[in-house]
């Protein structure tokens, strides 16, 4: 099998992303890791952490080679302003976004086989005047995909979301029959094509307490969710269970045969997954024309440069990207 070429974006320069990338370089990888970043930032973070890393320039015309321990391949970008650990600087937001744009473009053109993203700080990017709600939405917009699916996976549990980074006040309106059906179709198709599950079993959470209690605690289940799920079952014979009350869905009785749980919004599903698997989970974007995985955590600004950041989730994200791209 040919060696894969994986773009890696360390994300926010003042956060733990650069630390984690130089830590990852301490081991060999069976793929070429093309880190889209300022090499001076990585060199200074490596020095701060007492780590040795040799940087090699990315050479697109050469065949990808497995990454040797102690090395990183670099697609260079220049920070606008020198980065200080833990101190956000809006001047560097364009740098962060440009690394993502490059990684997305090169994946769409087929030059890279996947992208693995480190954590960005959504607030500072917006403060710089760039509208940005997350990598998921950024890559979806760039690839002209109206709907993609955010799914986080940890051993024993996979959770996907109907809505992602929107205010809670907008969630109920965003859950339309059309959106729900698009999301489930993408989820179903990618679980088959990327994860090799023949007939994915999808458990779906209700939106309201007790899944609406027959309409007494909210009508979205009756008006939108149940008809949407019924149509999918009838038209496509999808193996869908629900909507079930979200507070009792996450128990072994259901999870033991669930391929995925579909939550209606970010903080309905992700706290459950992260309480079980923070540090050993991976965030996967389904429905993109390429493979994108990411860490399960944020910028952890106070840990930048301390050597205390855990690389577990970044390792999971890289391994998952290598595994999924190797199936293509």
Ligand X SMILES: N[C@H](C(=O)O)[C@H](O)COP(=O)(O)O
Partner from ligand NAD, ligand X, none binding residue 242, C-beta < 5-8 Å depending on class: none
Q: Which stretches of the chain bind ligand NAD, using CB under 6 A?
A: 11, 16, 119-123, 135, 294-295, 297-300, 302-303, 309-310
Q: What is the closest distance, in whole angstroms, from the C-beta atom of residue 255 to ligand NAD in the complex?
A: 23
Q: Is 51 exposed, middle or buried (0-12, 13-18, 19+ CB in 10 A)?
A: middle
Q: What is the closest distance, in whole angstroms, from the C-beta atom of residue 34 to ligand X in the complex?
A: 19
Cα–Cα distance, 106 to 113 (Å, whole number): 9
Enter the tokens of residue 95. Answer: 């740098």
**Which CB sits closer to ligand X, 75 or 152?**
152
Partner from ligand NAD, ligand X, none binding residue 270, C-beta < 5-8 Å depending on class: ligand X
Q: In what order do the strands lie in the sheet with 260-263?
A: 54-57, 71-76, 32-37, 5-9, 114-117, 291-294, 282-286, 149-154, 157-161, 260-263, 201-205, 239-244
Q: Which residues on neighbouring strands pair with residue 240, listed in sequence order?
A: 202
Partner from ligand X, ligand NAD, none binding residue 310, C-beta < 5-8 Å depending on class: ligand NAD
The total of other beta-carbon atoms located within 10 Å of residue 274's CB is 16
CB 162 within 8 A of CB 265: yes
Partner from ligand NAD, ligand X, none binding residue 238, C-beta < 5-8 Å depending on class: none
Partner from ligand NAD, ligand X, none binding residue 123, C-beta < 5-8 Å depending on class: ligand NAD
**Which CB sits closer to ligand X, 134 or 305?**
134
**Which CB sits closer to ligand X, 55 or 121?**
121
**Which CB sits closer to ligand NAD, 19 or 32?**
19
């Amino acid at each position: 099998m040919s060696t894969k070429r994986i773009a890696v974006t360390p994300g926010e320069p003042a956060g733990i992303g650069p630390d984690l990338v130089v830590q990852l370089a301490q081991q060999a990888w069976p793929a070429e890791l093309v880190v889209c970043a300022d090499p001076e930032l990585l060199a200074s973070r490596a020095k701060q952490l007492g780590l040795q890393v040799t940087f090699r320039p990315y050479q697109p015309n050469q065949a990808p080679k497995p990454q040797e321990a102690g090395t990183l391949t670099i697609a260079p970008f220049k920070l606008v302003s020198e980065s200080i650990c833990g101190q956000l600087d809006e001047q560097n937001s364009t740098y962060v976004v440009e690394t993502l744009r490059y990684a997305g473009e090169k994946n769409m053109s087929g030059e890279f086989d996947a992208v693995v993203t480190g954590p960005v700080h959504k607030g500072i990017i917006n403060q710089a005047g760039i509208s940005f709600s997350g990598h998921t939405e950024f890559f979806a917009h760039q690839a002209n995909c109206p709907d993609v699916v955010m799914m986080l996976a940890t051993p024993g549990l996979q959770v996907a979301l109907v809505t992602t980074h929107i205010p809670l006040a907008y969630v109920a309106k965003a859950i339309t029959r059309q959106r729900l059906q698009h999301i489930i179709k993408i989820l179903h198709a990618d679980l088959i094509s990327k994860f090799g599950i023949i007939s994915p079993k999808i458990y779906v959470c209700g939106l309201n307490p007790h899944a609406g209690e027959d309409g007494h605690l909210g009508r979205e289940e009756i008006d939108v969710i149940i008809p949407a799920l019924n149509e999918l079952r009838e038209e496509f014979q999808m193996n869908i269970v629900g909507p079930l009350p979200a507070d009792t869905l996450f128990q072994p009785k259901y999870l033991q045969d669930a391929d995925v749980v579909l939550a209606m919004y970010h903080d309905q599903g992700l706290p459950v997954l992260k309480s079980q698997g923070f540090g050993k989970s991976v965030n996967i974007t389904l429905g993109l024309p390429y493979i994108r995985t990411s860490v399960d955590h944020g910028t952890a600004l106070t840990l930048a440069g301390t050597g205390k950041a855990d690389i577990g989730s970044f390792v999971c994200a890289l391994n998952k990207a290598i595994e999924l791209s190797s199936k293509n």
